[in-house]
Every structure is written in structure tokens, then in C-alpha cells.
């Protein structure tokens, strides 16, 4: 058994004597006897460090990572390259092991990093205020919905069908508790159809680019929302924002999103971070930590957690959110990554994805048995429909070491054989060509199998 | 913008046009005109003003920033209620294995059997520790687990055709409890604490009406005491059909000693970043799994990680692990994907390292350390100015009141905390719980040595001695930190929350 405890038998005797009790058991005498466990928990015995390593390595070996197959999976998390400097910084114990910076005098590193992060997110989204992170993407959409509820007290969310299914489901889970209704705005030719908005609409929620990869036209949606007195919430993907009109300049009141693509690894879905930016008007309803600049008593520049009267530890049941621990370390990775990309680099990265995605889209669309699901502009991801059962095609491709992407039919019954393909900067032309060849062969094999069965 | 010395510059202020770290891979596909791929009306007018800095300066900048942080690996961090215990180094190594770290969340379960099995085993271990049969790993932090728990309560009552409107929380509760209740659409009803520091049972009885949905309770409570009336409390709540929710913030006191499920709790959340050593990261990431009783199980979030019997075509091993979406009564999702898997890897490694015996030792020594420190402070003459709010055997943490210190010596709890910074230790939690005047909540954790506790007691005694002579010293502390006391009032009145560029 591994133990991280230092107390020796001698220590324990001395400490018990100082307390004035005979045994450790006596310290637990306040727990009613009927509740105290008589035996040990039914857990496997503790192991040495190397045994634990071996077990965890054996479990890892039974997963197929993006290093072990050619993966075009995206749909919310993406296989981007994470530069080496990120680990070298975020694994420093000074960033890895402190608590939330409640004592600013000894937390300037974390607080300043939050301030820098907020500045970078504000730049990307075109909105003046960013918090220091929320949990992750879909729950950030839920958190934005709560701000809208607090802001105008209306009863209904209108959510585009192009918003990530996990975001829509998370919002619906939370909205039930708020006694609010979530209605869906359908897609037309791959983008959100301008919905009818009544006076009971609290917020209109869209995603940029949407789940099918299409770039949405945000302005008409945002101005329609504004006219109806509703907020516009835009869930966005931060890397395409290097090229796209920022939501804040398109009239969005809140921009949120999944931060995994900013220097965080896939980790089977987490931990990553969610970002949350909004207008000045909504600042005091925002959830989560916010770092602010100030001075110390000697006039030196410093940073503190600010606007804390929004928060649960001060305001309790009147807080604007219950969030406490969020994702500070992941957000730190985010700001380091954005600094590494830099002003020009982020555009170059996004343009590379744009070009390769366009190439892949054209290449796949030319295949027998593949059609584009929509022809809207895309940046890193696009949707196609196969004229063959998609799950079976995926299975055939994976047997050849290629994972072509996400089968849309799981969440979109209207596209039973839809396939969502993501092209990050990790995927080269040669790999895209291999995808095309593999997919073509798999579709052909599947169609002839169906033909043979018929 | 505030003028700053070089060691206080932001990364944006280090930016110089033309510098760069990132180099894009070569364009290997035929280049097409930008306008053709992305019409101009969809494009932004100018790129986001991110910093332009080369790699050496980025590394130096953030390394320098790191040195302006105090951290657990460097010093004592007795921050009550936060369980700042050692974060084993093995955990970062195993979490970084590509099979864990580079696994896509939409990977087909057949190709993610190791991850799903790990999650299933973690669920089983947490279930055993909580004494409740079902676990969902999905929530991202303690407060997220609370929200899940209260929404589960709502779903449970609604499924029985009941409309309940109130949730009870003791006045000692963490702020997340009442904030969660509001976010879940309930009204908060506060329950008082008696003179011994326990839930006031008469007050509880008088407020437990049949429109109460749930009682949220932390046990041991935030004053570091085990509720002796817990069995009675459970009886009262279950008597009106309400659920009993266990806030797991203080689980570190009772692992392997007793179990929330046996106490009558229906829903428990764990803070994997407290009891199960996920590093706090300066404010996350964490994870807040929940364990529930049979009657709550149908409503758990989806998907659930399940173990199925192996059959032809799904693996070939004895068992097959899967994600179960077919949960018609589920409250739905609380976030994307399956939860903070990287945190699960670390906490699972911790549980495997310690086993049942080790987990029990954790709680035994956590409680021993707390009681020893309490005794030491009493002995060092500290108790005259900083008496224990409830002077009895505590669990893994205890509360002192700085009221006599403020009255006799003219220094507040805040001043003591700031003076501790000059001595190289992190202060305890201050001004919480709210029911104790000038409160200090001290949690040493099990991974601290006796010498560290001895040293801390000496420092506190020294600060009090110093204050007797000259209270101004503490009132103006700290002196040795990267910055001194900061103007938080102006920061809140005129918020500067991003850098103008």
C-alpha cells in the first residue's frame, strides 16, 4: 500500500498525548456507534507506485488514441497540436497546486494569468468582458441561459438546431428547474432559419460555426432577437474566430464556448474549460471568477478577484451562479496557447485549416456515394451524406486504421447516414487522400454487400 | 493602465510586432482564394490583437509569473474546507499517457474500453466509499454535483406527482448550497445551529413541512463537527418524504470510518479535487461525481457508464463497458461528453494506491492532525485570543474565533491572515463559517508532518505576541510578498477586467 502520510507510531503517541486521548478511535467517538463501520471497505488492497503505473498503462493500452489511428473526429473536441511549452508551464507546482486565489498577495501569478486570459478571450469574441473560465462548452451555454433568465425573466429559449446536441440537452436539463421552455429553431440548408420571436423569448442561442460545420450569419439573428427584446447567445469555436466576424461585433450579448482547442488535450472529454464573455450591461450578472487590475498600498500594480458580490461565497442564495471551482489551469493553458499562436499565427493556423478543409470537402464530395449535406462556407469541419449505412462504413474504415468522423444519425434522425468530418492542422493532404480512398472503398464494399444481400 | 515595472508586465505588454513562436505546417493543398472559401461579409476586419512574442519570452514570462504564486508543493496550506493535501506526482504521469490524454470523447466504446472500465471501477469504488449503490461521474465540480443532486431531487418528487418548493440548508453551509438551491428553482430555508455547533433539531423540525424537497447537509459540518443527531435528522426528513443531500466537501474526515449512505443520505457529491487529490490548479479543474440511492437512480444524468456481459461481437473479454443513453427518466445532461476524465484517472490511481486501509488511514491522520493542532494552539496560549468556537474533539478541521483577538489586541482575523503570509504559510479560510465571529477555519490534512503543525502553532503564537507589543505590524502586513494589500474596493467599483490594447 502506498501512503502519503508521514505520521510515525512515535508521532502518533505524542500527538494523542497532547490531545489527551488514548487512541485514534477515541477521536471518532462522536460518531454514533451504529454508524461506524465494523470492517474495512470492500476495495482492492493498496498497491505500490509501480503497480499502479502498470495498471493505468494497461488500461490506457485498451483505448485507441489519436496517435494510434488516423482520426477525423471532431464534433466539439478536436485533435489539435498542443505545443510542448504548455506542459512545461502548467505542470509547474506554482500553477498546478494552489487553490483559488483568495489571498491575492501570494497569488499574483494566477491572477495576472486570468487577467491576460480575459483580455485574449475578449479580443477573440469582440465582447468587452470575459470571466476567468467556466466548466466547459455545453455547460457554458447553460450558464449563459441563466444570465438571460436573470436579465429579463422571460420564459422561453429559442435554440438553433445547429447548436451542439450536448449544449441543447444541458440547457434543457437546467431550464426545467427554471420552469422555462426550450424551443428549437430549425436549420435550412445547413444554417439557422430566422425564427419567429414572441415577447416571451429570453434568448436566442446559435452556434458559430454550427454543429454541421456551417458558418452562420449572426447579424440578422442578433438584430431579430434585439427587436424582440431577447438576448443573443453565441456558442463559438475559438480558433475559427481568427477569421470570422467576432460575435460581439455581430450583435451577440454573450459569447461562450468550449476551450479545449486552445492548448488542452482531448482527455476523453475533459478537463478542458469553457469561456464566457459578455457586454458591459451583463457584467454584474456574469457567473464565475473575474480578475481585475488594481494597486497595492505602495502603488504597485496588482490583480485581485473582483465583482465578488455576484458570487456564491458572498451572496449565497442571491448569487448569479453557484460555480466555485472551475477550470483555472485549463484556461491558463488557453492563454499560453493563444500567446504561442500570436496575432498572425492564429490567422495562419485558421487559414491552413480553411484550405485543407476545403480540399477535403471537395475530395470527398467527388466520391461515388458521397454528397455534401450543405454548401455553406465551413472552416474546420463539414458534413456529408453517404449512400450507405454510415455505422457500417465507419466500422470498415476503422479496421484500416482510419476514423472518418462522427456519425450524425445518432443525434440528427433527419441525416441517418450523415457524417461530420473535422480537418485540424494535424491532418495533411496525404492523410486526407487516404481518408478519401478508404472511405470510397468502404462505401463501395458496403453497397456491393447490400446489393449481394438484395 | 497602471504603469508597471518589468517584472509586472503582462504578456500583451511584452508584445512586439513581428515576433512569433508558432510556425504553421506547410500548405500542401492547392490554395484557393480566401473570398471563395469565406465571403468577406463573414470575415473579421482585423485579427484579434493577441500578443506577438517568441517562445523564450513566453516561457520566461509565465515562469516568472509562477514565482508570484504560493503553492502547496512549497508550503503549508491549512485552508479549511478545501482539503489541501499532497498531490501525488504519479498521477500526472499516468494521466498524460496518450491512451488517456489523446483519447477522443466520441471514440467508439469498442475502442475506449480501458477508459470506460476505469470509469466503471471508479464508480464502484466511490459507491463503496459513500455506501450508496449508484454513481454518476458527470458533474465537473462540487457545485455542479450539488446542482445535479437538487435537480435529481426535483425529478424524484415530480415523478411522484409532488410539487415541492423549499430546500433546507443550515446556516453553516457553504455558499454553494443556497446558490445551488436558487439555480435549481427552489426557495432556500435556513436552519439554525445550536450552542454545541450542531443542527438545531427543534428549528429543523419546525421548518420541515411537506413542501420541503430536500435538506442539504455537510457532515462533518463546516465547523468541523460530526452531527451527533444525524440519525434523527434523517428520520425527520424522510418522515415528510424529503431527500437528504450530503455535501462531500468534508468527506476527508470519514473515509472508511462511516458512510453517508448508512447515515440515511440519498445523494452524495464527492470533490475529487479535495479528498481524492486532483490538484486544485489555482481554481480547477475538479470533478464532482454523485452517488445516489436506489430511489434516485432512475433520474441520474445520461449517459451512464455500464458493464455488460460480453457477447459475440462486442469485444471478446469477460465484460464489455458501454455508455448507456437509454435512461427515459434521466434529468438529462449537465455538460458535454462523459465528465472530466483526466481527473478520474488521477483519483482512480489514488484509490488504487491506498486501498481500503490507506483511505481509512487518511481520515484517521487528518482527524489526528486537526486535533493535535487544536491542542497545540490551546497550549501555546493562543486560545486566550483565538478560542475554539466549539471546544471539543473536532474532526478533520476546526474553527477559531478571532473576536477576543480583535477586542484585546486590536487586530482582526484578516490582519492575522495577512501576517501569516510573511511567515511563508497560507492562511486558513477566514470569515467562514458565517456564524462564528471573525472566524478562522483550519484544516491541516493528513499529509502534513507533526513538525509542520508545531511550526504553525509557534508562528500564530508569535504573531499574537508581536501584536500585543505593536498591533500596527499585523494591521499593515504583509511586507514580504510580491505585492502588499491590494485595493479591492476600487477594483470592484471601477472594474478593469481586461487590458486596453
Q: What is the set of domains in chain B, with CATH numbers?
A: 6-66 (no CATH), 130-301+326-339 (3.40.640.10), 356-475 (3.90.1150.10)
Mark yes or no for CB contact B283/A330 under 8 Å: no
Most A CBs within 10 Å, among B27, B109, B144, B183, to test the A interface = B183
CA distance A44 to chain B (A): 6
Q: For residue B365, how far is the Cα from the chain centroid?
A: 21
Of B79, B342, B349, the CB nearest to A56: B349
Arithmetic mean of pLDDT over chain B: 96
pLDDT of A236-287, one tens digit each?
999 999 999 999 999 999 999 999 999 999 999 999 999 999 999 999 999 9
Residues of B whose CB is below 8 A from A69: 111
Give the span between the Cα atoms of B186 and B448, in whole angstroms: 41
Q: Judged by CB atoms within 8 Å, which residues 271-300 of B form the interface with A?
A: 271, 273, 279-287
Residues forming a β-bridge with A235? A207, A256
B376 touches chain A (CB under 8 A): yes
Q: Which pLDDT does position B316 carry in this prediction?
A: 59
Give the span between the Cα atoms of B245 and B224, in whole angstroms: 18
Quick one: average pLDDT of A96-115?
Answer: 97
Give the span between the Cα atoms of A372 and A376, in whole angstroms: 10
Residues of B whose CB is below 8 A from A129: 497-498
Q: Which pLDDT does position B481 carry in this prediction?
A: 97
pLDDT of B252-291, one tens digit each?
999 999 999 999 999 999 999 999 999 999 999 999 999 9
CA distance A340 to chain B (A): 5
Residues of B whose CB is below 8 A from A297: 476, 484-485, 487
This complex has an ipTM of 0.98
* Alpha carbons within 13 A on the beta-carbon side of B78: 31
B487 touches chain A (CB under 8 A): yes
Residues of B whose CB is below 8 A from A37: 256-259, 262
Q: For residue B26, how far is the Cα from the chain centroid?
A: 44
Position B3 confidence tier, pLDDT thresholds 50, 70, 90: low
Mark yes or no for CB contact A44/B12 under 8 Å: no
Position B7 confidence tier, pLDDT thresholds 50, 70, 90: confident
B235 touches chain A (CB under 8 A): no
pLDDT of B34-92, one tens digit each?
999 999 999 999 999 999 999 999 999 999 999 999 999 999 999 999 999 999 999 99
Quick one: average pLDDT of A74-81?
Answer: 98
Position B155 confidence tier, pLDDT thresholds 50, 70, 90: very high
Mark yes or no for CB contact B21/A345 under 8 Å: yes
Q: Which pLDDT does position A9 carry in this prediction?
A: 97
A91 touches chain B (CB under 8 A): yes
**Long-range contacts formed by A437-442: CB under 8 A, 24+ apart:** A438/A397, A438/A400, A438/A402, A438/A404, A439/A364, A439/A367, A439/A370, A439/A393, A439/A397, A439/A402, A439/A404, A440/A367, A440/A368, A440/A369, A440/A370, A441/A396, A442/A388, A442/A393, A442/A396, A442/A397, A442/A400
Quick one: average pLDDT of B150-163?
Answer: 98
Mark yes or no for CB contact B44/A249 under 8 Å: yes
C-beta neighbour count of B137 within 10 angstroms: 26
Position B313 confidence tier, pLDDT thresholds 50, 70, 90: low
Burial B138-175 (b: 16+ CB within 10 A, else e): bbbbbbbbbbbbbbbbbbbbeeeeeebebbbbbbbbbb
Instruction: Specify the higher pLDDT residue, B312 or B187.
Output: B187
Quick one: average pLDDT of B119-143?
Answer: 98
pLDDT of B96-123, one tens digit each?
999 999 999 999 999 999 999 999 999 9
Q: Judged by CB atoms within 8 Å, which residues 293-332 of B form the interface with A?
A: 301, 331-332
Q: Which pLDDT does position B312 carry in this prediction?
A: 57
Mark yes or no for CB contact A241/B44 under 8 Å: yes
Q: Which pLDDT does position B494 carry in this prediction?
A: 95
pTM of the model: 0.98
Q: What is the set of domains in chain A, with CATH numbers?
A: 9-59 (no CATH), 84-336 (3.40.640.10), 344-453 (3.90.1150.10)
pLDDT of residue B311 exceeding 90, the answer is no
Name the residue in chain A with its Cα closest to that of B17.
A343
Q: Which pLDDT does position B315 carry in this prediction?
A: 54
Burial B301-319 (b: 16+ CB within 10 A, else e): bbbbbebeeeeeebbeeee
Residues of A whose CB is below 8 A from B284: 100, 133, 271, 273, 325-330
A13 touches chain B (CB under 8 A): no
Quick one: average pLDDT of B354-375?
Answer: 98
Q: Judged by CB atoms within 8 Å, which residues 224-283 of A form the interface with B?
A: 241-246, 249, 258, 265-271, 273, 283
Give the span between the Cα atoms of B145 and B251, in whole angstroms: 14
Of B87, B181, B492, the CB nearest to A306: B492
- Sequence-separated (6 or more) residues with CB below 8 Å from residue A187: A160, A161, A162, A193, A210, A212
Mark yes or no for CB contact B34/A302 under 8 Å: no
Helix, strand, coil in percent for chain A, rounding step 5: 45, 15, 40
A295 touches chain B (CB under 8 A): yes
CA distance B165 to chain A (A): 11
Amino acid at each position: 500500500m502506498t501512503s502519503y502520510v508521514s505520521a510515525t507510531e512515535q508521532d502518533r503517541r505524542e500527538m494523542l498525548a497532547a490531545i489527551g486521548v488514548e487512541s485514534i478511535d477515541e477521536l471518532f467517538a462522536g460518531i454514533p456507534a451504529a454508524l461506524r463501520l465494523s470492517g474495512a471497505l470492500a476495495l482492492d488492497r493498496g498497491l505500490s507506485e509501480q503497480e499502479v503505473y502498470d495498471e493505468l498503462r494497461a488500461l490506457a493500452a485498451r483505448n485507441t488514441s489519436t496517435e494510434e489511428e488516423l482520426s477525423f473526429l471532431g464534433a466539439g473536441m478536436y485533435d489539435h497540436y498542443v505545443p510542448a511549452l504548455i506542459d512545461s508551464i502548467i505542470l509547474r507546482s506554482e500553477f498546478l497546486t494552489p487553490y483559488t486565489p483568495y489571498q491575492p498577495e501570494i497569488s499574483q501569478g494566477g491572477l495576472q494569468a486570468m487577467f491576460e486570459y480575459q483580455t485574449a478571450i475578449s479580443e477573440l469574441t469582440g465582447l468587452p468582458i470575459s470571466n476567468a473560465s467556466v466548466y466547459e462548452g455545453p455547460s457554458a451555454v447553460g450558464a449563459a441561459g441563466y444570465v438571460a433568465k436573470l436579465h429579463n425573466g422571460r420564459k422561453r429559449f429559442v435554440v438553433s438546431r445547429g447548436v451542439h446536441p450536448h449544449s441543447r440537452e444541458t440547457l434543457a436539463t437546467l431550464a426545467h428547474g427554471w420552469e422555462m421552455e426550450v424551443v428549437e429553431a430549425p436549420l435550412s440548408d445547413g444554417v439557422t432559419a430566422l425564427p419567429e420571436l414572441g415577447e416571451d423569448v429570453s434568448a436566442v442561442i446559435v452556434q458559430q460555426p454550427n454543429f454541421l460545420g456551417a458558418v452562420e450569419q449572426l447579424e440578422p439573428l442578433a438584430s431579430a432577437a434585439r427587436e424582440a427584446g431577447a438576448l443573443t447567445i453565441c456558442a463559438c469555436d475559438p480558433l475559427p474566430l481568427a477569421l470570422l466576424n467576432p460575435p460581439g461585433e455581430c450583435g451577440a450579448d454573450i459569447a461562450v464556448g468550449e476551450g479545449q482547442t486552445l492548448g488542452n488535450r482531448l482527455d476523453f472529454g475533459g478537463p478542458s474549460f469553457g469561456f464566457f464573455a459578455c457586454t458591459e450591461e451583463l457584467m454584474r450578472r456574469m457567473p464565475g471568477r473575474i480578475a481585475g487590475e488594481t494597486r497595492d498600498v505602495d502603488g504597485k500594480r496588482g490583480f485581485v478577484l473582483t465583482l465578488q458580490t455576484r458570487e456564491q461565497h458572498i451572496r449565497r442564495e442571491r448569487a448569479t451562479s453557484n460555480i466555485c471551482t472551475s477550470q483555472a489551469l485549463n484556461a491558463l493553458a488557453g492563454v499560453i496557447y493563444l500567446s504561442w499562436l500570436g496575432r498572425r499565427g492564429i490567422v495562419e493556423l485558421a487559414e491552413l485549416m480553411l484550405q485543407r478543409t476545403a480540399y477535403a470537402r471537395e475530395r470527398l464530395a467527388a466520391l461515388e456515394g458521397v454528397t455534401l449535406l450543405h454548401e455553406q462556407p465551413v472552416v474546420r469541419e463539414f458534413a456529408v451524406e453517404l449512400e450507405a449505412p454510415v455505422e457500417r462504413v465507419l466500422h470498415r474504415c476503422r479496421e484500416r486504421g482510419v476514423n472518418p468522423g462522427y456519425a450524425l444519425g445518432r443525434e440528427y434522425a433527419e441525416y441517418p447516414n450523415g457524417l461530420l468530418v473535422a480537418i485540424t492542422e494535424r491532418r495533411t493532404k496525404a492523410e486526407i487522400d487516404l481518408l478519401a480512398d478508404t472511405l470510397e472503398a468502404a462505401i463501395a464494399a458496403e453497397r456491393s454487400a447490400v446489393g449481394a444481400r438484395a | 493602465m497602471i504603469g508597471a515595472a518589468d517584472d509586472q508586465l503582462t504578456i500583451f505588454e511584452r508584445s512586439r510586432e513581428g515576433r512569433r513562436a508558432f510556425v504553421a505546417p506547410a500548405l500542401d493543398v492547392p490554395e484557393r482564394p480566401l473570398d471563395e472559401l469565406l465571403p468577406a461579409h463573414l470575415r473579421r476586419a482585423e485579427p484579434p490583437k493577441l500578443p506577438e512574442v517568441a517562445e523564450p519570452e513566453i516561457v520566461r514570462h509565465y515562469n516568472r509569473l509562477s514565482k508570484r504564486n504560493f503553492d502547496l508543493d512549497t508550503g503549508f496550506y491549512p485552508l479549511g474546507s478545501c482539503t489541501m493535501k499532497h498531490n501525488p506526482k504519479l498521477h500526472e504521469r499516468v494521466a498524460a499517457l496518450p491512451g488517456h490524454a489523446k483519447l477522443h470523447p466520441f471514440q467508439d466504446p469498442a475502442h475506449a474500453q480501458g477508459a470506460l472500465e476505469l470509469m466503471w471501477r471508479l464508480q464502484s469504488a466511490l459507491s463503496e466509499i459513500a455506501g450508496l449503490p449508484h454513481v454518476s461521474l458527470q458533474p465537473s465540480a462540487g457545485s455542479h454535483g450539488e446542482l445535479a443532486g437538487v435537480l435529481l431531487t426535483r425529478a424524484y418528487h415530480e415523478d411522484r406527482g409532488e410539487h415541492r418548493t423549499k430546500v433546507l440548508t443550515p446556516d453553516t453551509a457553504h455558499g454553494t448550497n443556497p446558490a445551488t438551491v436558487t439555480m435549481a428553482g427552489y426557495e432556500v430555508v435556513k436552519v439554525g445551529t445550536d450552542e454545541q455547533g450542531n443542527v438545531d433539531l427543534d428549528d429543523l423540525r419546525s421548518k420541515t413541512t411537506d413542501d420541503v424537497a430536500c435538506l442539504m447537509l455537510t457532515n462533518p459540518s463546516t465547523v468541523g463537527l460530526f452531527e451527533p443527531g444525524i440519525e434523527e435528522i434523517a428520520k425527520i426528513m424522510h418522515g415528510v418524504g424529503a431527500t437528504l443531500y450530503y455535501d462531500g466537501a468534508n468527506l476527508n474526515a470519514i473515509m472508511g470510518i462511516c458512510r453517508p449512505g448508512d447515515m440515511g443520505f440519498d445523494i452524495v457529491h464527492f470533490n475529487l479535487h479535495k479528498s481524492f487529490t486532483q490538484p486544485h490548479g489555482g481554481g480547477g479543474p475538479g470533478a464532482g461525481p454523485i452517488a445516489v440511492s436506489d430511489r434516485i437512480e432512475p433520474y441520474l444524468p445520461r449517459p451512464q457508464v455500464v458493464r455488460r456481459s460480453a457477447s459475440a461481437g462486442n469485444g471478446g473479454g469477460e465484460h464489455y463497458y458501454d455508455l448507456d443513453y437509454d435512461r427515459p427518466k434521466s434529468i438529462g445532461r449537465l455538460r458535454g461528453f462523459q465528465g472530466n476524465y483526466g481527473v478520474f484517472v488521477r483519483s482512480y490511481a489514488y484509490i488504487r494506491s491506498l486501498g481500503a486501509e490507506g483511505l481509512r488511514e487518511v481520515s484517521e491522520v487528518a482527524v489526528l492532525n486537526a486535533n493535535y493542532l487544536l491542542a497545540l494552539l490551546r497550549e501555546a496560549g493562543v486560545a486566550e485570543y483565538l478560542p475554539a468556537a466549539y471546544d471539543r474533539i473536532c474532526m478533520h478541521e476546526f474553527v477559531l474565533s478571532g473576536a477576543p483577538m480583535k477586542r484585546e489586541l486590536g487586530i482582526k482575523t484578516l490582519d492575522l491572515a495577512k501576517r501569516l503570509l510573511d511567515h511563508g504559510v497560507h492562511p486558513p479560510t477566514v470569515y467562514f463559517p458565517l456564524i462564528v465571529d471573525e472566524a478562522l477555519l483550519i484544516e491541516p490534512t493528513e499529509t502534513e508532518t507533526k513538525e509542520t503543525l508545531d511550526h504553525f502553532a509557534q508562528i500564530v503564537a508569535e504573531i499574537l505576541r508581536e501584536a500585543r507589543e505593536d498591533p500596527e505590524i499585523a494591521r499593515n502586513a504583509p511586507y514580504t510578498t510580491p505585492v502588499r494589500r491590494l485595493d479591492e474596493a476600487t477594483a470592484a467599483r471601477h472594474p478593469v477586467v481586461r487590458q486596453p490594447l
